[in-house]
Amino acid sequence: MHRLLTRLCALATLVSVLAPSAAWAAAGKAAPIVIVADSRSHSGWQAWLSNLYNENLAYFTLVTVLLIPTLGALLGKITEFLLTRLGINLKSRVLAEH
């Protein structure tokens, strides 16, 4: 049983290694794929961000990495402010038991 499992695993590994190369060998030369954002219908910051994606992916990545945590922190502060105004104290761990 152990030999059979070993042979099946070896066969599966061989197939998974050779199958993609066989598929690539069967096809002709493929044109490179270009992915772009359609910015024709956007305006303002959405147009700026989609144009940045189309022109320089490194800057788009940098802006995205900086923008997401900043907006998350801003939304967290706004939520904390609103909950404090409603009387919900998030800084205390006291449980209200009924």
What tens digit of pLDDT does each residue of 6-48 get?
A: 988 888 887 777 766 666 665 667 778 888 888 889 899 999 9
Range of the domain at 92: 56-98
In a domain, 94, yes or no: yes
Q: What average pLDDT does the structure give for the chain?
A: 84
Give CA–CA dist 8/16, Å, rounded.
12
Task: Say which residues have a Cβ less than 8 Å from residue 38's Cβ, sequence separation at least 6.
Answer: 50
> Over the stretch 47-79, which tens digit does the pLDDT of each residue have?
999 999 999 999 999 999 999 999 999 999 999
In a domain, 46, yes or no: no
In a domain, 35, yes or no: no
Number of domains in the chain: 1
Number of H helices, E strands in the chain: 3, 0
**Residue 89, pLDDT score:** 79
Give CA–CA dist 15/38, Å, rounded.
40
**pTM: predicted TM-score of the whole model, two decimal places:** 0.54
